[in-house]
């Protein structure tokens, strides 16, 4: 019988690539930093995407042997949420991947090099002031980084060194930035930021983008900076 940990395949988020009529139910990602439509379970990733196993028993054997690393850390929870920009490593096969969104709005694996697997792009979703004037950046994937100086804004992105948990590059939310849309009607599209429009009261900040040759409008929360100025 289904429970809180499962949902019907037919009702699974459109971001998941799966055979919806193969089985009736599928496991839900455990609660975490990623919304349900923005992540996959580790078990689904190993079995259905990487195709390293054919049965749940085989999946358990693989993850319990620490053969799958997420952001440099072994994970054994089959329902662990693996989401956008997360880095997956398989030491045994020497394979490295990054979770991205394709232009059809589906979560997908993108193969990367070993060097690229040491870095991860994270969106800043909040900031906290600490003692001694230190600043804590609260990141999209649940990570936190403490800095001595505050040169960052909510909505910016940072590239972090996963081994040192250190910021190595700052990507500002500003005109000319290359951005990935992580929500809304244009999910998965990449555009160039043209304008940021602050609104009065509690209305969400508007972002004007160029997608190919078209101008579109979206919300700040749907924008993820992935690169600096582009022509």
pLDDT at 9: 52
pLDDT band at 1 (very low <50, low <70, confident <90, very high): very low
Our CA angle for 196, 203, 84, nearest 5°, is 65
pLDDT at 75: 93
Tens-place pLDDT, residues 156-212: 999 999 999 899 999 999 999 999 999 888 999 999 999 999 888 788 899 999 998
pLDDT at 22: 59
Task: Tell me if 96 sits within 8 A of 114, measured CB to CB.
Answer: yes
Output the six-digit token pair for 115.
């060097």
Residues of the chain with CATH 2.40.50.740: 118-171
Give the ranges where 65-211 is alpha helix by DSSP (H): none
What would be the CATH architecture of the domain defined by 6-114? Roll (3.10)
Q: Please state, as a whole number, how many other Cβ atoms lie within 10 Å of the Cβ of residue 191.
A: 23
Superfamily covering domain 118-171:
Ribosomal protein S4, central domain (2.40.50.740)
Q: Report the top-level CATH class of 177-229.
A: mainly beta
H/E element holding 57?
A: helix 56-64
Tens-place pLDDT, residues 42-68: 998 998 889 999 888 999 999 999 999
Task: Tell me if 153 sits within 8 A of 172, measured CB to CB.
Answer: yes
> At residue 150, does pLDDT exceed 60?
yes
Instruction: For residues 98 and 83, give the distance between their C-alpha atoms in angstroms, rounded to a whole number.
Output: 9
Q: Indicate the pTM of the whole model.
A: 0.85
Better-predicted residue by pLDDT, 23 or 168: 168
């Amino acid at each position: 019988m289904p429970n809180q940990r499962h949902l019907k395949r037919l009702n699974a988020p459109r971001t998941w690539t799966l055979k919806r009529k193969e089985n009736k139910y599928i496991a839900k990602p455990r609660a975490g930093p990623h919304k349900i439509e923005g992540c996959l379970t580790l078990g689904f990733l190993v079995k259905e995407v990487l195709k390293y196993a054919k049965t749940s028993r085989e999946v358990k054997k693989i993850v319990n042997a620490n053969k799958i690393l997420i952001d440099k850390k072994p994970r054994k929870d089959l329902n662990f949420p693996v989401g956008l920009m997360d880095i997956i490593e398989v030491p045994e096969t020497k394979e490295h991947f990054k979770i991205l969104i394709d232009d059809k709005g589906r979560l997908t694996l993108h193969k990367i090099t070993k060097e690229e697997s040491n870095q991860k792009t994270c969106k800043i979703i909040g900031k906290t002031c600490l003692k001694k004037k230190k600043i804590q950046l609260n990141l999209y994937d649940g990570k936190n980084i403490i800095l001595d100086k505050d040169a960052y804004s909510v909505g910016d992105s940072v590239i972090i060194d996963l081994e040192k948990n250190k910021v190595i590059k700052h990507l500002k939310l500003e005109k000319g930035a290359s951005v990935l849309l992580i929500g809304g009607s244009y999910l998965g599209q990449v555009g160039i930021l043209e304008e940021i429009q602050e609104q009065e009261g509690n209305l969400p900040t508007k972002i004007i983008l160029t997608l190919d040759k078209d101008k579109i409008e979206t919300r700040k929360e749907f924008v993820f900076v992935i690169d600096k100025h582009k022509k």
